[in-house]
Amino acid sequence: MFISFRLSRGIAVLCIAFLLVSSLTFFIFHSISRDAATKTTPQTNVNLDAKKDFIKWVDFGITEAAMNAAMKADIESHDSKTPIDWIDLLAYLGAKYGGNFTSFKTADLSSLVDRLKRGEKIEDITKDMKYYSYYHQAYTAVLGGFLGEYEIQEKSETDELVWTKKYGLKGFSPIAKNYGYSHYDDFGASRSYGYQRKHLGHDMMGGVGTPIIATESGTVEAIGWNQYGGWRIGIRSFDKKRYYYYAHLRKNHPYPKDLSIGHTVKAGDVIGYLGMTGYSAKENTNNIDTPHLHFGIQLIFDESQKDGNGEIWIDCFEIIKFLSKNRSEVVKDELMGEYRRKYDFFEESVNNME
């Protein structure tokens, strides 16, 4: 009887263990299946709480060469019967290459341009490309403010300033013209101040006091001290898709005195001065070893991504190389003690915001 009781108890224990293992196996399998079902390539999964579809991450890999070639095709066709959109071209190539532009061939872009010039529609050409829509949305978010119509002051033959209407690159390098800098692709490098994390920006090493330029027209959303970025400025594009972050600005005089939250800036304006502040809870402290500008671009497809774990920061190295051909020349206003742009700039989006 004692043996029978022990056997019965042993069988019961085995049954319970089997049930626990079965339940755990089901839970793990169900979790894996659920995760697999919500993951796509590229990442365009659903925010179940907000019940919205929006892009959750962008690995921006377009090379300077590809951007230059696409922009050239766009500008050359602008006044023709068949204007070509450079983002259409880049999205097609993104879908073709899986986002890896190390495979970029000028012949691939030229072939697409020829088809468009012959009258084919981009919608028909890309109808069977599964991820064309994703890349188009992602690349529009990154590059949407860089190319378009604008007016800028230029010197005439009589040395007078005149306004000239143009179509082309209207995004500016964040470092003013005639100021040197060095840089390399440091996106994702390790950072340890405060906590272990990845570097989600692009460092441009230069001299303290170098004028920092607004890459795109927009609205100041953040300004002041941050212990990681030191004196910093955050500017949001008018379409709300891009948030530009300029950090480690100069001690004592980091940016123009009249700049504040809500202020509208124009592409090419002087918005600050390069420095080495940050890495300190104490305000106005130089705790960065090498003077540099930390420049970052955050993409925002939904306002829930603005702050927190859902932030999307992209590698800006190729973008900085691309923008280096358009640098804002500056002069010093001795009366105000500030640098300002030498040639004024106007675009309709600024007029609509003011």
pLDDT in tens, 230-287: 999 999 999 999 999 999 999 999 999 999 999 999 999 999 999 999 999 999 999 9
* Rounded Cα gap, residues 268 and 283, in angstroms: 28
Chain-centroid distance, C-alpha 122: 25
- Please report, for the domain that includes residue 338, its CATH number: 2.70.70.10
Residue from 231, 191, 233, 200 nearest 309 by CA: 200
In a domain, 167, yes or no: no
**Cα-based angle 338, 201, 215 (whole degrees, multiple of 5):** 40
Residue 50 pLDDT: 46
Residue 265 pLDDT: 97
- The pTM (predicted TM-score) of the whole model is 0.84
Q: Are residues 101 and 212 in the same domain?
A: no
Q: Are residues 138 and 204 in the same domain?
A: no
In a domain, 231, yes or no: yes
Segments of the chain scoring below 50 in pLDDT: 1-41, 44-50
In a domain, 15, yes or no: no
Is residue 311 a contact partner of residue 263, using CB atoms and an 8 Å limit? no
Residue span of the structural domain in which 109 resides: 64-143
Q: Are residues 128 and 234 in the same domain?
A: no
DSSP assignment, residue 266? -
Q: Are residues 186 and 231 in the same domain?
A: yes
* Rounded Cα gap, residues 209 and 179, in angstroms: 10
Q: How many domains does the chain have?
A: 2
Residue 350 pLDDT: 79
Q: Are residues 109 and 193 in the same domain?
A: no
pLDDT in tens, 315-334: 999 999 999 999 999 999 98
* Rounded Cα gap, residues 124 and 185, in angstroms: 37
Q: Are residues 199 and 320 in the same domain?
A: yes
